Structure 1
């Protein structure tokens, strides 16, 4: 189980890109080996309906709704 906070501004690290943030959650679960983390990040972005270009952006570059979807993607990684 993973918490999705209502205010994603505080739950996302402003110094991590979206891909880094989701990848950290994927690695912590241990469900994907090192070679497959990138593919899992892309899959999670697809599941929350975010374009792949978002992976290289930082939370400050996203709208509130996009930040919320990144938080949901991190929760789904678990």
Structure 2
């Protein structure tokens, strides 16, 4: 019997991002498939940093480094 393929989650997970300069962005979309592994939310930071670099290239206005990242709607621990 063939092994069943494991389904990847579809959709997005939303994150709030706080930058070192004090600015914040909310509800940043990260594909659910990026954060479904054993690394939990660590890949989301890399995904958002890549997104920020792409936006900076198009706009000519770079973003500062990320200070913290957390899922939207979660209370700080």
Q: TM-score range by the shorter chain?
A: 0.3 to 0.5
Larger Cα-atom Rg: 2
TM-score (norm 1): 0.35
TM-score (norm 2): 0.35
Q: Which has the higher helix share?
A: 1
Higher RCO (CA-CA < 8 Å; seq separation 6+): 1
